[in-house]
Amino acid sequence: MAEQYRNDPTADDDEGLSDVQHGRDAEAMEGEGGRPPVLASAKHIPRPTTSLAAPPRGHVAKVTVSLLGDVASVPSLEDVVKINTKAGSKGRTPIMTVIQAVLAKSGGTMALAELAAKVRENLNRPFPASPYTPEEFIYVMVRNCDNLRIRE
């Protein structure tokens, strides 16, 4: 069927194909209707599924989050706070960096309710809009992270 489109650009089944797919010359097409040809379109590219995870079941404030790996590989909380509070700077650290820095400062393990409060304090900006409470939002963020472990 693809061979048909290459050989016969006037085939009846060619409504969904652009002129470039037919191999028509762009200069020859400019005369048709007085408009330039469409060279590319994302109209038929499938959209990705949402990456928003399902909300956790039950109350997650008592869940324990642990930092795995070397604490030295995580930036210090003081450095993170300096970056986030620097006047006139638009530089911001990612929320996962703040989570890891807070965990490293506290010895590597914290309850999720305490972690959410410390992250909110040191992030120096509001959490992104989501349908979750701060504890649920942090839970969703850390549950698929490679260097963090959740114990319920």
Kindly list the domain boundaries of the chain, sorted by start residue: 1-47, 64-151
- pLDDT, averaged across the chain: 75
Residue 5 reports pLDDT greater than 50: no
Residue 84 reports pLDDT greater than 50: yes
Q: Answer for the pair 113, 135: CB distance below 8 angstroms, yes or no.
A: yes
Q: Which residues contact 90 (CB under 8 A, 6 or more apart)?
A: none
Write the CA distances from 143 to 27, 66, 71, 97, 106, integer angstroms: 55, 11, 19, 15, 19
Tell if the pTM clears 0.85, that is, is over it: no
Instruction: State the pLDDT at residue 56.
Output: 64
- DSSP classification of residue 69: S
Residue 54 reports pLDDT greater than 80: no
What does the pLDDT look like over 37-49, one tens digit per residue? 667 666 676 655 5
